[in-house]
Amino acid sequence: MKRWKNSISLLLIFTMVMMLVSACGSKSSTEEKGASESAKTTDSAKTGEKVKLKVATWAGAVELKEFEDLISKLNAASSEYTIEVQSIPADYYQKLQAMIAGKQAPDFMWLSQEYVAQYAKLGAIAPLDQELAKLDFKKDDYFAGALNVGMYKDEIYALPWISQPYVLYYNQDMFEQAGIELPNENWTWDNFIETGKKLTKDGRWGGLINNMPLPMFLWSYGGDVFDKDGNITLNSADSMKGLEMYQKIAKSGITPERAQADSMGGADMFKTGKVAMFVGGAGDDFEKTAKFKVGMTLAPKGTNTVTFSWIGVTAMSKTTKNPDIAAKALQDMTKAIHGWKVVAPTKSGFDAISTIRPDKTYAVDTIRKASEIARGFNNQPKQAEIDGVIWEKLIQPLEQGEDISKAVDTTISKFNEIIK
Amino acid sequence: MRLKQNMGYVYIMPWILGFFIFTVAPLGFAFYIGLTEWDTFTSPTFVGLDNYTALFKDENFLKALWVTIRFAVISVPLGIATSLLIACLVNSKVRGVSFFRTALYLPAVVSGVSISLLWKWILDKDFGLINLVLSKFGIEPLGWLSDPHLVLPSYLMMVVWGAGGGMLTYLAGLQDIPSHLYEAAEIDGANMFQKFKTVTLPMLSPVIFYNLVMGIVGAMRKFSDAYIIGGAGNEGRFYMVYLYENAFNYLKMGYATAMGWILFVIILVLTLIVFKFSSAWVFYSSEVNKKTKKGK
């Protein structure tokens, strides 16, 4: 019996030692596997085998299905690469960051413009100029504002696949019933307030601004939060004019309370006829969903004609094993998306609007003009923190009617703490 | 004998290894990360105690700490009292008590995210259930989550609503109280309140003690509902939410880890205080029995 027990014990010890040895050895075998895969990938181009690439996307449900179909067509047409779609519909950036930190970054990743500078500075994504120079990349085909958000320190790090310039949507029925002239391309923010006051009645509001990024008002008067070189320009005379206008609109009484607009959703308030004017992305689906006649024109201006654009980009991981073929795949994939998503950030992809979204045909000229004047933020590597400060120290005090100069000083002092 | 002892270690080795690999090692790593500046993409840079000193100058950190402590101070006793009250009610022998027990316990089995989304709707200023009811009495809609003064009461409402989850342990404790104690109290002429004060509470004190400790830990670590629901004026930004923001939105993992250690120390100190004073109010009948036997 005792011998039997000892044998079991020895067997247990042996098993555990083997487990430990195999665990310790796993790193080297993984490294070997990684090295052999890397060599295999590099060789694959020579041997004619397709390079395997992965793209991370936040797309889910219908959008994901459409994207997968698009990628299947690309894969079928290419003899050089096969792209696999990695869908991360929830907590996208958290999971992406964990993958990058764990050295498991996908070859391509969809990014919102705010992340480009940060990922580029931290070396998570690769500069593309060198690879793009070897391809038939037409830089001039992109609208300048869209391409700029994919750049960091004068190098291209990401290719835009969508650019939704903000335009002014209006409820034409409400205007006509009130006998008020329709908005036009030359409208200023003062016109917006003036007309908004006439339309604010019977539980309805003239306009909404809670969904618009604050810098858009600064740009309207030639100012900005940061300039292209990353210097703080929030307290320039032009920026101050933009902030004054923002506060003027917020206090004019033509907009619902922020909390109400946030809880109901700005777009839904417009769609349900509670708000007469809404500045939103040119690709929004009001024409399909609203039960009134929707009109569109350029967003109001200050002294400058400019608008914000929500821009999505695809970046290439710095750890991709075959950058030449990956860059080619990135360019093909981006071009293909331009024929799928509205609004394309390129001049050549622009004409597809009428085909993809016939409901937008009436506004193609307006969207084109908006795309030409649209831009993104001068994003900083610590943009997420900066945005947090803008919300807490600038937007909220401005909306509560506090002194603008005081709010600006506090904001700048916080900025300095972040970017020091 | 020696071999037997060694074999004991071999048998528990899987657990010991798991403990070292998945608990001790990450703790050591976290302690080191708390002393570094780390964005997770690049290598950590050692900064000594900078994260800790910066935290105490960070107004958002102090605000989040205040919001959390204030919530804990009110919600823990409130939760205990409500759970105890519910337990006493469903401990009575009335018709349909099983239904009430099940219904009141239901919040504990629903996912936290679903509950948060449900409450976000209930508390909505324009479409919320509470404001709809209030409007029937002519009360203007209240910004439960948009008015900074109403954010804490909103979270406390959620605590009361979920108190049925804590009822279970009290109910088990109540059913464990020997009926002869109540009979003796009745013979002595005790009324209902006196019976509750002199029999129920002392006999339930170990359960209350357990729920107090767990309640403090839970309140200090509040995250999922606060992350989903939020609240105006940073009143809904609890400690763990701010920690998460630093770690995953701002990529300040060293700073967030330092926050984690500070929270650990706070919870440890609070727990030790509760333990220290427990001898004054927690009554263990088993200990009394032992003493009685020794006395004999």
* CB atoms B146 and A257 under 8 Å: yes
Across the interface, which of B7, B125, B245 has its CB nearest the CB of A260?
Answer: B125
Is B20 domain-assigned? no
The two three-digit tokens of residue B129, written as one number: 């259930």
pLDDT at A2: 54
Do A314 and A335 form a contact (C-beta atoms < 8 A)?
no
CA distance A194 to A188: 10
| Amino acid at position B68, single letter | T
- Distances from the Cα of A251 to the Cαs of A197, A218, A276, A401, in angstroms? 12, 17, 17, 7
Tell me the residues of chain A between 77 and 96 that have a Cβ less than 8 Å away from chain B. Answer: 93-94
- Structural domain count of chain B: 1
**Token pair listed for A416:** 């300095």
Cα separation, A217 vs A383, in Å, equals 18
Whether A27 has a pLDDT exceeding 80, the answer reads no
Check residue A349 and give its pLDDT.
81
Q: Is residue B81 part of a domain?
A: yes
What is the helix, strand, coil percentage profile of chain B, to 5?
A: 75, 0, 20
The answer to whether A127 and A310 are in contact (CB under 8 A) is no
| B41 contacts chain A (CB < 8 A) | yes
**Do residues A85 and A55 lie in contact, with contact meaning Cβ atoms separated by under 8 Å?**
yes
Structure token pair of residue A167:
């335009």
Nearest to B13 among A16, A93, A385 (CB): A16
pLDDT in tens, chain B (296 residues): 677 778 888 999 999 999 999 999 999 999 999 999 999 999 999 999 999 999 999 999 999 999 999 999 999 999 999 999 999 999 988 888 889 899 888 888 888 889 999 999 999 887 889 999 999 999 988 989 888 899 999 999 999 999 988 899 999 999 999 999 999 999 999 999 999 999 999 999 999 999 999 999 999 999 999 999 988 878 999 999 999 999 999 999 999 999 999 999 999 999 999 999 998 989 887 766 666 666 54
Whole-angstrom distance, CA of residue A199 vs CA of residue B113: 40
What ipTM was estimated for this complex? 0.78
B13 touches chain A (CB under 8 A): yes
What integer pLDDT is reported at residue A352 of this predicted model?
84
User: What are the Cα distances from residue B122, in Å, to B99, B115, B118, B126, B143?
Assistant: 24, 10, 6, 10, 11
Distance from CA of B264 to the nearest CA of A (A): 24
Residues of A in contact with B40 (CB under 8 A): 97-98, 100-101
Res A34: pLDDT: 40
**Phi, then psi, of A265 in degrees rounded to 5:** 90, 120
Do B135 and B125 form a contact (C-beta atoms < 8 A)? no
Q: Which residues of A touch B20 (CB under 8 A)?
A: none
At B29, list the tokens: 């790593």
Residue B138 lies in a domain: yes
Instruction: Give pLDDT, residue B283.
Output: 86
With an 8 Å Cβ cutoff, is A263 touching chain B?
Answer: yes
Check residue A226 and report its DSSP letter. B
Distance from CA of A9 to the nearest CA of B (A): 7
Q: Is B90 domain-assigned?
A: yes
The CA distance from A162 to A345, in Å, is 5
Residue A240, pLDDT score? 98
**Distant-in-sequence, close-in-space partners of B293: CB < 8 Å, separation ≥ 6:** none
User: Would you give the distance in Å from CA A211 to the centre of its chain?
Assistant: 15
CA nearest to A79, candidates A321, A316, A325: A325
What is the pLDDT confidence band of residue A31, given thresholds at 50, 70 and 90?
very low
Mean local confidence (pLDDT), A74-103: 94
Identify residue A71 by its one-letter amino acid code.
I
3-state secondary structure of B36: strand
Instruction: Give me the residue label for tokens 């797309």.
Output: A59
What SS3 class is residue A267? helix
All structural domains of chain A with their residue ranges: 46-163+310-364, 165-308+381-419
Give chain A positions within 8 Å (CB) of B245: 388
Same fold, A46-163+310-364 and A165-308+381-419: yes
3-state secondary structure of A126: coil
What does the buried/exposed string (b/e) look like for B24-48 if buried means 16 or more CB atoms within 10 Å of the residue's CB? eeeeeeeeebbbbbbbbbeebeebe
Q: Where does the pLDDT of residue A265 fall: very low under 50, low under 70, confident under 90, or very high at 90 and above?
A: confident
Residue of A6, A263, A389, A413 to mutate when probing chain B, most B C-beta within 10 A: A263
Radius of gyration of the CA atoms of chain A, in A: 26
For residue B174, give its domain range. Answer: 55-295
At A87 the three-state DSSP class reads strand
- Bridge-based pairing of strands A155-156 and B36-37 is unpaired
Token reading at B8: 């004991």
pLDDT-based confidence at A340, cuts 50/70/90?
Answer: very high
Residue range A94-120, pLDDT digits in tens: 999 999 999 999 999 999 999 999 999
Superfamily covering domain A165-308+381-419: Periplasmic binding protein-like II (3.40.190.10)
Contact A124 B41 (CB under 8 A): yes
Residue position matching structure tokens 């003027």: A248
B232 with A124: Cβ contact below 8 A: no
Q: Select the residue of A9, A119, A257 nearest B10 (Cβ to Cβ).
A: A9
- Residue B175 is assigned to a structural domain of this protein: yes
Tokens of B40: 């997770």
pTM of the model: 0.83
For residue A413, give how far its alpha carbon lies from the nearest alpha carbon of chain B (Å): 13
B 105-124 residues inside an 8 A Cβ radius of A: 124
Q: How far apart are the first and last CA of chain B?
A: 39
**Structure tokens, B32:** 């080191």
One-letter amino acid of B202: P
Interatomic CA distance for residues B27 and B150, integer angstroms? 38
d(CA A219, CA A223): 5
Interface residue of B39, B126, B127 to substitute, partner A, most A CBs within 10 Å: B39
- A24 pLDDT tier (thresholds 50, 70, 90): very low
- Nearest residue of B to residue A9, measured between CA atoms: B7
Contact across the interface for A263 and B127, Cβ inside 8 Å: yes
- Are A65 and A340 within 8 A, CB to CB? no
In a domain, B209, yes or no: yes
Among the partner residues B10, B250, B251, nearest to A12 by beta-carbon distance: B10
Name the pLDDT band for A5 (thresholds 50, 70, 90): low
**Rounded Cα gap, residues B214 and B83, in angstroms:** 14
Unique residue bearing structure tokens 């309370």:
A257
Cβ-based contacts under 8 A for chains A and B: 59
Residue A29 has pLDDT above 50, yes or no: no
Does a structural domain hold residue B39?
no
Q: Which residues of B touch A384 (CB under 8 A)?
A: 249-251
Domain A46-163+310-364 class, CATH top level: alpha beta
- Tell whether B191 is covered by a domain: yes
Query: pLDDT at residue A276 above 90?
Result: yes
Residue B285 sits in a domain whose CATH number is: 1.10.3720.10
The confidence score (pLDDT) of residue A136 equals 86
A181 Cβ neighbours under 8 A, 6+ residues apart: A175
